[in-house]
Amino acid sequence: MGSSDHRGVPGSPGRVVTLVKSDSHSTHPSESNYPADQVSRTWGIAVYVKKDLVEETLKYLDERETGYARLTVPLWNVVDG
């Protein structure tokens, strides 16, 4: 979806995605590329935030990312670097 309010600018909206939790599996053809136990996963990047910056970071994100829900999710393949 295009967004000019917190991504991009009027006339050139940035791209954002909305993720919706679902108990059903998608039938999108791209899912045939993944093992069955990985079809319902979202792939991406997690960024580590130092403990003393968490409150400040969340305050900033709450203001910037309007209308989202904050969830705690398990992470796999975490690389320390």
Return the active site residues: 65
Give the DSSP H/E element, type plus range, for residue 7.
strand 2-9
Q: Rounded to an integer, what distance in angstroms lies between the CA atom of residue 19 and that of residue 68?
A: 10
